[in-house]
A and B are shown apart, each in its own frame.
Chain A
Amino acid sequence: MNSDVVVSLQDLHKSFGTNHVLRGIDVEITRGEVVCIIGPSGSGKSTLLRCVNMLETPSSGTITVLGRELTDIDCDIDEARSKIGMVFQSFNLFPHMTAIENVCVAQRKVLKRNAKEATTAAQSMLARVGLQDKENSYPAQLSGGQQQRVAIARALAMNPDVMLFDEATSALDPELVGDVLAVMQSLAQEGMTMLVVTHEMGFAKNVADRVVFMDNGVIVEQGPPEQVIGAPREERTRSFLSSVLNH
C-alpha cells in the first residue's frame, strides 16, 4: 500500500435502521491533499465524515487511517482519534472553559503534555487563527467565527495528521464566514491533509485538489474542481450545481 495514503475507505456501508445512508464508498486521500465533499442535503456527507473518526460505526467496510485499521476490533480508537482533527458545524467548544483551556485540555489529558508545553502550543495555535488576544475569553463571549477558529486551534494543537471539517461555516453569519475560510485555506497551503464537507463552492473551486460529489449514499463523480464544478459529466452533478449556484 502506498505509504502516502492518509485515509482509505473501502466499500463503506452505513445504515440507520432500515435507512441505508452510505452505499459502498471507496476513497483514498493522500498526504497533503485537500478533498471537498459536496452534495445535496441528506446524501450522507456528514455520516461519511463521522465514519472517518468512528463517531459513527460503519455497518460494513474498512476504514484505514495512516495504516491503522480503525474498523479492526483491536484498534485503540481513542489513540487514533487524537491524530484526526474534527471541526463541527456547531463549534462544540466546551462552554465552561476559556479559549486557551479549550485548546489545552486534550493536550493535557490525552497527550499528557505538561501545563507549560500545552500552554505554549495553545498560544501559538490561537495566534495562528488570529485570536491571541482572546485567550481568556469564554466561548459565550466570542462571536461564532471566533468560536469556530478556537475549535480549529483546539484540533490543531493535537498535531493531527488529517483534519475533518463538517460544514464549518454553515452556522455563521455571512460576514464571519471569510475569517474561518481564510484559516482553512492557509492550513491547506501549509500542506495539511483535509477532508472538507462544504456548501461553499468558491472554497471548493479555489482550494480543493479534488472535489467529490455525493448523492444518495454513493460517490457520483469526483475529480479536480475545474472538472467536477466546471464541467460536470453526470446529470445529477449538473442539477445539484445549478440549484446551489442559482442561490
Chain B
Amino acid sequence: MERDNHQVGETEGVKICDPPCESNPPADTLATSLSLLGNHMFPYPLETKHRSAVKEEPADSLSDVTAEEESLDGEPHSHQVTPLETEETESSECQNNVSSQQLDIENEDTATDNERSDSGEFVVTMLAKAKLEEQGLGVKGGSSPLLEAETQEPPAFMSHRDEDVTADSWRQHRKHVFVLSEAGKPIYSRYGSEEALSSTMGVMMALVSFVQSGDNIIRSIYSDGHTVVFLQKGPLVLVCVSSSRQTEKQLRGELLYVYYQIISMLTQASISRIFEHKKNYDLRRLLAGSEKILDGLLNLVDSDPSFLLVAVQCLPLASSLRDNISQILQKAITPNLVFSILIANNQLLTIVQEKTVIEDSRLEPADIHLLLNLIGASSAFQAGEIWTPICLPLFNPDCYFYAYISYLDPPECTVCLLLLSTDKEAFYAVAECKRKIEEAMMAQNSLSLIAKVQSYSVSQVGVSDLRHFMYKPFDVPDTYQQLTQFTSPEMEAPYSSEEEKMRLLDLYRYMHSRIHSTSRPLKLIYHVAERETLLAWVTSKFELYTCFSPLVTKACAITAITKLLRWIKKEEDRLFIRYPPKYSTTPNPSKSSRGGKSDQQDSTDNGFLSLL
C-alpha cells in the first residue's frame, strides 16, 4: 500500500517527503542504537530529528492545525471564485535524505550532544540488543530481519492484543501507537500485548531520556518508509510509528487525541498525582478495559476526517426538526446541568449548553469526538441508564463531569441522549430530564423522523465531475460561539471499498498538510493525481477540499466549486447546527437576570426565524 502511494507520488511528481532539515555530521553511536530499534520496528535506514526544547513548536493544542489560517491574508472574502494563483505541487521541496543511511541530527549544539551520546548509547544499545536476542532474530546491520522471519498469518480469531509481535504482519501495520510511562512501563500498544513489547518500549523510553539528558526533546525519527513521532505529556510518553505518509504534525495531533482520551477517563490531575506518588506505577491497572476505547479512537482517527479537520460533522437534518429537538432539550433542564447532547447513529444531532458555561469558554470539537468515540466504542450504554464520571480534557483536563447516558430507542439503540452535569448527586434530577425529553419527543414523533435521516450524496449537488468534498466554514462574528463544524457527503463509488476510502483520505491528508505547512503554507492547491484530481482551497471564511474525476480541467473544477459553494449556502441550515441554543440552569440571580431562560428562548426563535 505504502509502496503504491510512493509510486503514484513519483509519477505525478508529487513526492511526499520529509520536512527540510539541515544535515549535520552523523552521530555514529546514536545511529547504531537507533538502527537497532529500527531492526525491530522497521528494516529501513533511519534519520532522527530532535531539537532543543526552545525550538519545539507549540503542538499542544489540537486547534493548532487551524491556527495557521490566521497568518494568511488577502483572500477573496466572498463565495465567488476569483482568479486563482494556482500552486501546482512539484517535487522541488524533496529532501535528499530520504534514502540516506546516515543519521541527521538537527541540534543547536551538536558537539555536546556527541559527547553525551557515550553513556546514552550504551543503554540504548543494550536494550535494543536485549529485545532482538530475546526474539532470536540476532542483530543485523542494515538488512532486514524480516527476510528471515517466516511469514505466519495469525489465526483469524486472534484479536490485535494477541498478535505475535515478532511476526512480519505485526511490523507491517500502517500505524503503531504506543503509550508508556516515563519510567518506561508499557501502558498501551495498538497491536500486540504491551507485555510482549515491554522491552521495545524500554528502548523507546531510553531514547527519550537519552535525548532529554541533553536538555533536548526527541520529536521524530525519519526513515525511508516510516516516521516515528514522540510526544511527551506529563508523565506519559506517546509514540507513533507510521508508514502512512502523514506529516509529523498530523501524527502528533493524533497522539494528542490518544492522550486526551486517556485523560477523559482518568483526568490529568489524577495521572500526575499517581506518578508523583509512585514513579513506576503500572497505569494499565487503571486503564484495564479501556484498550477497546483507544483502539476505537485510533480506527476513527484513520477513517474519519473529523479528527484531521478538528471539526464536528452533524447529522444533516431539516432545520425545523433540529430546532424542535433543541427546544425540547432546552426545556428539560435542572440545576447544574451544563450540556445536553443528542446523538443519532454516532453523529451529533444537536447540542444545547448552559449559558454561563459557554460564556467563558466554548466546547472544543475534540471533546465531542472523544465523547462520540466513548459511546460508539462500547455497547455498555445499552444497559439501562448510565451515570458515569467523565472528563472533557479540552474544557478542563482536571475535572470530572457526571454524564447521564441513555439510548432513547431500545433495543435498536441508535439515538443516544447525553446529559452532562457538574453535580455528581444529580442523577435522579437528570434522569427526570430524560423522561421529559422522551415524553416530548414521543409527542412530536421525533424519533421516527430522526430514523429516516441519512447522510447525503454528492450527486445532490448536481455537479457531474465532483466525487467528494469536505467543507469547513470558519466562525463568522454573529455565531462566534459556534462549534467548529464541517460537512461532507458520503463516500461513494469509486471510494466505497475500505482501501479506496483510505486512499482518498490519504490524499486529503496530504492536501491538508500542504495547506497547513508551517514553512510554506498554501492557500490553493490543484493536484492532479493518477486516479483523481483534487483541489484544496482555504480562505478566511472556509477551508474546502474537493475531489474530481481525473479528466476535469482546471476551469471546470473552478466552475464546479462555485456551484458547490452556492449549493452549500442554500443547504446550510440543514448541514450545520446553526445558533446553538443556550439555557440557564445556574441559580445565580445576577447571571440569570442578564438573560433568563425565556429571554434566551425568544432570541433563539428570532435567530431561527430570521434565517427563513
Q: Do A and B come together as binding partners? A: no
Chain B residues at the A interface, C-beta cutoff of 8 Å: none
